[in-house]
Chain A
């Protein structure tokens, strides 16, 4: 069964940095686009970024451009999200998700990022 396990969340001060990781298993990681999707407490879902199989294309929601960087290491079956200049509005559960056929067909359990002083 496809598994996606996020880690790296926690409490960080405004302006700080955090790096999220997502360990993938039980599927051919290198053949899929991958995404990060977040959900602020009590709010809806928001697509954050995605990355092509070889890392050659990366796309971001406007609100994180220039601050967040998505990357992957296919040799380690891992997806990352480097988050810099964090703001209170970045507080959310961050999900790693596999890009299937026009949908996110598998999701991790999420990791909570809290930006607060």
Chain B
């Protein structure tokens, strides 16, 4: 079961916007609105920042937004802040009856 494809790293300066892509297939990302994104700081537990492609859990900053086109989902962080420096993982339901993560993207705030 291959992972979803994410860039290994993305960087940006404070205040800028960055976008992380997550590419799958029609059996996962493209076939369902079941994409979620997780933020993980070093040594910490993952935290969901988006689900259902573009929905934000209560308490998550509106600087995080999501979209999907075809087999690729995207997470955009606007107004980049130092606290956003972390690893980000996408995840999707994959038919039949499994879930798959992306390989993860390290976000660096320059």
Contacts and interface: CB of A to CB of B under 8 A. Distances in A.
- Per DSSP, are chain B's interface residues mostly helix, strand or loop, or mixed? strand
A45 B98 contact: no
A103 B36 contact: yes
Contacts of B70: none
Interface stretch (A8-16, A68-76, A81-89, A106-114): A106-114
B92 to A, nearest CB: 9
Given A101-B51, A102-B36, A104-B36, A47 B91 contact: yes
Interface string A54-90: 0000011111000000000000000000000000000
Contact count band on B: 20 to 34
A62 B1 contact: yes
A59 B97 contact: yes
Nearest to B48: A103
Contact of A107 (B45, B89, B100, B104): B45
Contact of B46 (A60, A63, A102, A107): A107
Contacts of B104: 44-45
A2 to B, nearest CB: 12
B51 to A, nearest CB: 4
Contacts of B101: 44-47
Contacts of B100: 47
A105 B102 contact: no
A63 B2 CA distance: 11
Given A101-B52, A107-B46, A108-B45, A59 B34 contact: no
A95 B46 CA distance: 10
A105 B48 contact: yes
Contacts of B57: 103, 105
Given A47-B101, A104-B38, 8 more contacts: A45-B46, A45-B89, A59-B97, A63-B1, A102-B52, A103-B51, A105-B57, A109-B45
